[in-house]
Amino acid sequence: MRRFAKRVTLLLPAVVMAALTLALPAGEGARAQDDEKPYRIKDGVVDWYTFSGFRRYHAECHVCHGPDGLGSSFAPALAETMKTMSYEDYLEIVVNGRENVGTTAQSKMPGFGENRNVMCFIDDIYAYLMARADGVLGRGRPKKEPKPPEAKERDDSCMG
């Protein structure tokens, strides 16, 4: 029985990712993988999804990575790290975590694969961080577009 529970625990993040990809509106899951930017900013106003990423980042990530992705003594500045990180590496690290052990330092980021507040909005967080990394979004709470109906449907279906 324990072997089965361990196998289910290890597979859960992959199942969640697959379910989220299917639950997202057409184009949402792929938007972060395209050459086009995953965010939209016009006249200083961000799209709803980027704003949602700002909110989720500051609810879950800023405790270690600092406000606005600027880093802290605990974790790197994601506004810099995201400049060279692929979308696939981002997903891998957020879902499963990462541990770096060196001769003088050790760091560990927990995996968030079972945290719905992260997993349901993983592309939104990515959009926010990429806007910060690209230097097109300043510090602080951005002005936002109204929440589209499809975002409400997505949120409701994922968060339950």
- For the chain, the domains span 2-159
**For residues 11 and 39, which has the higher predicted lDDT (pLDDT)?**
39
Banded pLDDT at 34 (limits 50, 70, 90) = very low
Q: What is the pLDDT of residue 35?
A: 64
Residue 16 has a pLDDT of 47
Residue with the bigger pLDDT between 48 and 16: it is 48
pLDDT at 74 over 70: yes
pTM summary value = 0.77
Q: What CATH number should be reported for the domain whose range is 2-159?
A: 1.10.760.10
H helix runs in the chain, sequence order: 2-23, 28-31, 48-56, 62-65, 78-81, 87-96, 116-119, 122-133, 149-159
Average pLDDT for residues 128-134, to the nearest whole number?
Answer: 96
